Structure 1
Amino acid sequence: MTNTVKIFDTTLRDGTQGEGISLSVEDKLKIAQKLDALGVTYIEGGWPGSNNKDIEFFNRASELHLTHAKITAFGSTRRKDTKPEEDVNLRRILEVGVKVATIFGKSWDFHVHKAIQTTLEENLSMIYDSVKYLKNQGLEVIYDAEHFFDGYKNNKDYAVQTIKKAEEAGADWIVLCDTNGGTMPHEVSAIVTHVCAEIKACPVGIHAHNDCELGVANSLAAVMAGATQVQGTINGFGERCGNANLVSIIPNLQLKLGYNVISSEQLQGLTPVARYVSEIANMALPVNQPFVGAAAFAHKGGIHVSAILRNASTYEHIRPELVGNKQRVLVSELAGQSNLVFKAQEMGLEFSNDNSQSKQLIEKIKQMEHEGYQFEGADASLELLIRDAYGKIEEMFTVESFKLLVEKSADNPSVSEAIVKIKIGNETVYNAAEGNGPVNALDNALRKCLLQYFPNLQQIHLSDYKVRVLDEKDTTAAKVRVLIESTDFNNSWSTVGVSENVIEASWHALIDSFRYALIGQECTPQSADDQKERVGLVNH
């Protein structure tokens, strides 16, 4: 048995079948480059026989300078009673110029009779002819045996016949698909073991779905039974309940089971890739997602934090750096002194209960929590508090005032305009901007002020905005807590603001976001021409 497992990523094809996910051609090209850098072996780009967007992707993907991955096109076996050279789907695969084709065929006799309405013999011919035809055209062929596990349990002999036909035709891989996602790990293990004993001419892979939340477990079970290719998606995106999550499969195979999957350096890129794909797909990455979530190595209880200060392995199953994540300590009403000790140590500060700054900081945090602040989800605001307490932050700007105007006429949508006045050094800076709401207008106006002096802020944008009503009984006069998440694609941070006025709460969180982003930066005013060019006033 080989100790190497190949990763087949189908985020760009199967992943886009998930509800709410739509990727443009540009999105798919960007993600493909990230997947290549991660070290996956195959990237399934789409189904050229189904839509023009996928055809455009394949045409443009040929210009990508991939160093590791092979782009593969997806399609089905030939239609019944049709020659393969006359089948539109197979011809489209050839036309887009890929070197690897992934085609699926029926393994379940029930599907043969009901879905494609043909005979069992014709289905076997469809599989053989299609694989043989693509092989004769010089392509590497991956055969996906659709519904294999259901077919095997219903009619074992016929299911095995289907994959033997693909083997006979020269398939390079035979991949067993749990298309309905209903198979149990012990069943996957037994069936894959049997298949690996039957199929000798080519290696076997697994394609699992997550309908029983067993996509990862079934993929691992298949590998341990002899499979050497795993198909899945980043973050488990996919139809219904999703596909097997490669973000969990890769580190489990490599760190827990000892398989060679990707290099240790590539594994350190796992968290950034997971977050990048989530950002591009406009899907929130669950904070508790294993290995890569923001809470995957977060500690809240004081006893836990006290223990990890002595040895992180007391409450962490791996070092987070191995997968590109980081350890986090949350400060809340459940936290003890250890949480603040940890945070201070992260910043190189000496935290002591006898220290006057420490005592003042603890009292301030307790008072702010009583007022409605919550720092467990606002790590950047907490760090700013600690830095302020120890005099370890240089204020790059101060706010003097802001004004808001919201105009709504009967026939037009509302328009928000913000005017912001800040001080940078000895200079007072004004700027105005419109937005699709008051908070967006404030963000735009403040950003215009700061970009003149801190051009690196151009890379930063708000990725999430949440409002929580704290005193519901007070109805519209209730105090609210606003949480803002910001990102520059490499890092993300969260800030918090509390007030009876949602605009003021948002403003406090927004200011903290920019203050945090400016830690360690230098003020580098742009020239007048640079400023004009940035706002489009210089003609080329």
Structure 2
Amino acid sequence: MSLSQFSIIETTLREGEQFCGANFSSQDRVEIARALDQFGVEYIEVTSPCASPQSRQDCQHLAQLGLYAKVMTHIRCHLEDAKVALDTGVNGINLFFGTSSFLRQFGHGKSISQIVDRATEVITFIHDQSPETELRFSTEDSFRSLLPDLLQVYCAIDKLGMVNRFGLADTVGVATPNQVFNLVQTLRQHTNTDIEFHGHNDTGCAIANSYAALEAGATHIDTTVLGIGERNGITPLAGLIARLYTINPEQLQWKYRLPQLLSLHQLVADKVGMAIPANHYIIGSAAFNHKAGVHAKAMLNNPQTYEAIDPSDFGLSRSFLINHKLTGRHAIANRASQLGLDFDPFQIQAITQTIKALADQQPLTLETVDEILRSTFPMQQSHNSA
């Protein structure tokens, strides 16, 4: 898999708006769009202009910002929605239609042949009105749809020759990586268009499913900052970046401005009123913290021993936690060196045991450990003088 052959469709401003804590203002949308563009995502998907009067104005405004990223909007496969979307001047339109038995029975009530007819009408209209507009057609709830139904829809639309990309949506997050790989591969064998994957994270498989889609030949992956979205959200941007970094870090650095990942997440976290989880991929506060003594020793010798991702590529740094009972003498020696204190190995071992014993009795702060080191150092100087 070549990373140069895939693109991120960043949908914080569409899927992310469906997150329970999201209520973006017009200015919020502009700030987030610019931050996403600066990071380097290829596409920015925004809420349907039919959602509300303000959504329509914002969609039009975002399309006129002059971003490097293509601005797409996500609409129902309705002729009236298509007319409104075209009027906003967006670079592309993402259409969707539910194909599972659940959505056909309890949602729109259309048969597979009616879905094909409706999609053909809307796609043909958009293409005739604006041939340069990029078009994606996605089935909704793809992984609870029957394969013959999916292929009937996709193959019929593929014959039109008007769609740039087909979408596969794991709408309720039930797919496994194997299922995603197989369906993407099957669609690749039956059609000639690019393939986009949209994976919800209800069962915690969104990142793995997105990567499986890429391995099978998908060309576009949907993400949101912090993974926010409907219910448990979708593939998190930082999580996908982390997964891909381990495959080809140099190519990923070429595609995206990795040091801006943290500020982008801080911006969105502030807008939705949530803290960045400490264990979030790459940019969480614990991402490059090392605690266990054996880890610290190996890390000081070679950081790759316990790090698959280099924090410096993201403008970040690693740290060694030493104020606990799991600490080791190598981490203590490293901290002493940072403080300009020079102990021999026997003294470091004794100090380490003192810290471990104290940590067994009470919580310790880094300041307490530093004080132990500093208070011991004059004793060492006195001993050496004698």
User: Which bracket does the TM-score occupy, shorter chain normalised?
Assistant: 0.7 to 0.9
**Corresponding residue for 2:74?**
74
1:62-81 CA-to-partner distances (Å, cap 9, x unmatched) read 45342x31111111101xxx
Alignment of 1:247-396 (within 5 A): 247-256=238-247, 263=254, 266-334=257-325, 335-343=327-335, 345=337, 347=338, 349-353=339-343, 374-375=364-365
- TM-score under structure 2 length normalisation: 0.85
The answer to whether 1:5 aligns with 2:6 is yes
Rounded to whole Å, the distance in 2 between the matches of 1:277 and 1:287 is 16
Equivalent of 1:121 in 113, 123, 126 = 113
Q: Which residue of 2 aligns with 1:39?
A: 40
Residues 101 and 374 (structure 1), Cα distance of their counterparts in 2 relative to 1, 3 Å cut: farther
Question: In structure 2, do the counterparts of structure 1 residues 354 and 120 end up closer, same or farther at CA, with 3 Å as the change threshold?
Answer: closer
Q: What does residue 178 of structure 1 align with?
A: 170
Cα 1:240–1:172 change in 2 (3 A) is same
Counterpart in 2 of 1:25?
26
Instruction: Within 5 Å, give how 1:417-496 maps onto structure 2.
Output: none
- Cα distance, 1:272 vs structure 2: 3.2
Task: For 1:14, give the aligned amino acid.
Answer: E
- d(CA) in 2 for partners of 1:386, 1:47: 60
Decide whether aligned partners of structure 1 residues 51 and 308 sit closer, same or farther in structure 2, where only a CA change above 3 A counts.
same
Shift of 1:164: 2.4
1:404 aligned residue: none
- Please tell me whether the aligned partners of residues 242 and 309 of structure 2 are also in contact (alpha carbons under 8 angstroms): no
CA distance in 2, matches of 1:386, 1:134: 72
Contact 2:141 2:172 in 1 (8 A): yes
* TM superposition shift of 1:294: 1.4
Q: Which has the larger radius of gyration?
A: 1
Name the aligned partner's letter for residue 59 of structure 2.
F
Give the CA deviation at 1:35.
0.8
Provide the rounded CA distance (Å) in 2 between the counterparts of 1:387 and 1:49.
64
1:204·1:228 contact (CA, 8 Å) conserved in 2? yes
Q: Rate the CA distance shift 1:264–1:328 in 2: closer, same or farther, 3 A.
A: farther
Counterpart of 1:353, as a letter, is F
- 343 and 199 in structure 1: CA distance in 2 versus 1, 3 angstrom threshold: farther
TM-aligned CA deviation for residue 20 of structure 1: 2.1
The answer (yes or no) to whether the contact 1:109–1:120 under 8 Å persists in 2 is no
The two structures have a TM-score, normalised by structure 1, of 0.62
Aligned amino acid, residue 319 of structure 2: R
User: Which amino acid in structure 2 is aligned with residue 315 of structure 1?
Assistant: Y
User: Residue 190 in 1 paired to residue 190 in 2?
Assistant: no
What secondary structure sits across from 1:50 in the alignment? Answer: coil
Shift of 1:7: 0.5
Q: Does 1:141 align with 2:135?
A: yes
Counterparts of 1:195 and 1:227, CA distance in 2: 10
Deviation, 1:337, is 3.5
Match of 2:15 in 1: 14
1:193–1:115 Cα change, 3 Å: same
Q: Which has the higher contact order (CA 8 A, sep 6+)?
A: 2
How far 1:114 sits from its partner (Å)?
3.0
Quick one: which amino acid aligns to residue 23 of structure 1?
F
Could you tell me how far apart the structure 2 residues matched to 1:362 and 1:240 are? 46
Q: List structure 1 runs of 4+ shifted beyond 3 angstroms.
A: 257-262, 340-345, 361-375, 381-390
Paired residue total: 371
Question: Residues of 2 paired with 1:282 and 1:39: CA distance?
Answer: 24
For 2:343, give the aligned amino acid: N
Letter of the 1:290 partner, please give it. Answer: Y
Q: Are residues 362 and 276 of structure 1, via their aligned partners in 2, closer, same or farther at CA, if it must alter by over 3 Å?
A: farther
2:72 counterpart letter in structure 1: T
Question: Secondary structure in 2 aligned to 1:269?
Answer: helix
Change (3 A) 1:276 1:238: same
Return closer, same or farther for 1:188/1:275 CA change in 2, 3 Å cut-off.
same
Letter in 1 for 2:333: V
Point out the more displaced range, 255-264 or 273-282: 255-264
- Residue 24 of structure 2 aligns to which amino acid in structure 1? L
Cα 1:92/1:265, change in 2 over 3 Å = closer
| Alpha-carbon distance in 2 for matches of 1:142, 1:261 | 25
Task: Tell me the CA shift for residue 373 of structure 1.
Answer: 5.1
Contact 2:329 2:348 in 1 (8 A): no
Distance in 2, matches of 1:259 and 1:159, equals: 37
* RMSD, matched Cα: 3.2
Report whether the alignment pairs 1:227 with 2:242: no
1:108 aligns with 2:109: no
Question: For 1:132 and 1:254, how far apart are their aligned partners in 2?
Answer: 39
1:166 paired to 2:157: yes
**Other structure's SS at 2:71 match:** strand
Call closer, same or farther: CA 1:362–1:258 in 2, change over 3 Å.
Answer: closer
Alpha-carbon separation, structure 2, partners of 1:352 and 1:206: 56
SS in 1 for 2:257: helix
The change in CA–CA distance for 1:145 and 1:2 in structure 2 (over 3 A counts) is farther
Does the 8 A contact of 1:352 with 1:358 survive in 2? no
Q: 1:301 to 1:238 in 2, by over 3 A?
A: same
Say whether the 8 Å CA contact 1:76–1:103 is kept in structure 2: yes
1:120/1:330 CA distance change after superposition, 3 Å: same
- Higher strand residue share: 1
Specify every segment of 5 or more residues in structure 1 that has no aligned partner in the other structure, as ranges. Answer: 79-83, 391-540
Looking at structure 2, the residues matched to 308 and 198 of structure 1 have their Cα atoms a distance apart, in angstroms, of 49
Please tell me the residue identity of whatever aligns with 2:229. G
What SS does structure 2 have at the residue aligned with 1:218?
helix
- State the distance in 2 between where 1:266 and 1:177 align: 28
SS in 2 for 1:256: coil
Q: CA deviation at 1:33?
A: 1.1
In the alignment, which of 81, 84, 94 is matched to residue 92 of structure 1?
84
1:238 and 1:385 map into 2 onto residues whose CA distance is 46
Distance across 2 between alignment mates of 1:142 and 1:259: 30
Describe the shift of the 1:385–1:39 C-alpha distance in structure 2 as closer, same or farther (beyond 3 A).
Answer: farther
Q: 1:369, CA displacement in angstroms?
A: 6.2
Aligned to 1:461: none
Q: Which moved more, 1:288-297 or 1:331-340?
A: 331-340
Shift of 1:353: 2.9
Structure 2 regions of 5+ residues with no counterpart? Answer: 377-386
